[in-house]
A and B are shown apart, each in its own frame.
Chain A
């Protein structure tokens, strides 16, 4: 199979009906807003542009590189689409990609499609956009700035979307929060590095050949403060909720299974990553939040180093 499923696409059967419906409503709300915004600002030639870029992002998911053993990094593309097209067009492009994957290739479910759109097209794009726009103020418009922004946006889009997916699974009662959240977060912190690396390579290629596309982007003349705030809000909410949910999964599972079918998750004997806490802090939730912040700092440091090595490799910039 050319297009293998990624762990981010939730199939049917894994989200409860209530969670699916809530996520569908949220996704439809954002898509309606995006369509309205684009109908005001879109130029005639942007319609074929969005279709063909969606096809390229879909096909681009086949481009992969071996990391170690049988695993390989490949592209999801939310950050790249956001940086090239602006947030609203990127929402439509990513919705198109995710919807086609579900409708045609059964990569992700149909009832779960609302959730998958919300995770990848809404959260992925909003978080990419806010990270990229906030970093833009500090870093400026040179190659280094664009590369760091691209890497950070790509990594955080994957990471935050995976937190959302894990919480949705936990709320549906199909995966216990104290296992799903650290496992999904851990795997996607790594997948995000691959996404970031490919995004970085793609941006430096586009910077070298068509710098004009990265300056403002064809379809977003102004910055959207609402999207920045939305992206930040989602990221902050998930960053606080996920460690809380994994530290106190009982509350979440009470919501999931109100009939008391599943009274309490077993104690920490089964957590996959028992050391997912920060030394010196006794409260587990606070410690996990601290570990999360430390993770973000490490990623920022790595992206600085990578950007520097990129600069040295290409002395004419």
Chain B
């Protein structure tokens, strides 16, 4: 029971981050490695603010804003300085390592005995007795669904249409007399905002910030998106944003199953190998679809 609960909680928290990766990887077609830095950026911001007694819910918003700034920087490097997409992300990811260290003050900040979005007098009054076991999951679920529905709504706005067009066919964006570079920057900003928000929730759930917590975020994000988009393609009645959240949970479940057989130090190796397996399976599926045509 505890394991299932943990998988669902972790899956949904990383799901928020995966929604951001969905924007860059799937919609914008931009392999954005910034997320390895912006995920812990959200966590570092939260660590800083929470230790200074800032309202934990406000912390979520500020972390989102910090991620937006990181995304804008990656966008500016790519669009204005004409650096390739992959390299822009790598540059920002590396730079953010130091930024995160400066923001958090040190490499490891414990948040025990501090008020978080999961642990404050208001929440604790609502969830009493048996329910207390589920409060983290319920809060995370509300947050993840809120992000999903907001993103769905955004993608149906004029600005959202333009974002989808920029990933699909950026020539059309120019034909519509719009600056495709600006559209990309907006997309990266929203994406990294979501990633940082995920980082903030993560730090508050595990109750500490760690400088290395971002390593491999992109792999988890991509794995979730690919499971959601390719492997769950059959579930056509679900929106892509929903299948990405489910993909994230499934991925965490796979990692949990694998970790039951290996020591925890194997975590990143398992993360990577599982991602590779998912990637290969999704490519096989694509091939099958093509030969069926």
Q: Report if A and B associate in a common complex.
A: no
Q: List residues of chain B with CB under 8 Å of any chain A CB.
A: none
Q: List residues of chain A with CB under 8 Å of any chain B CB.
A: none
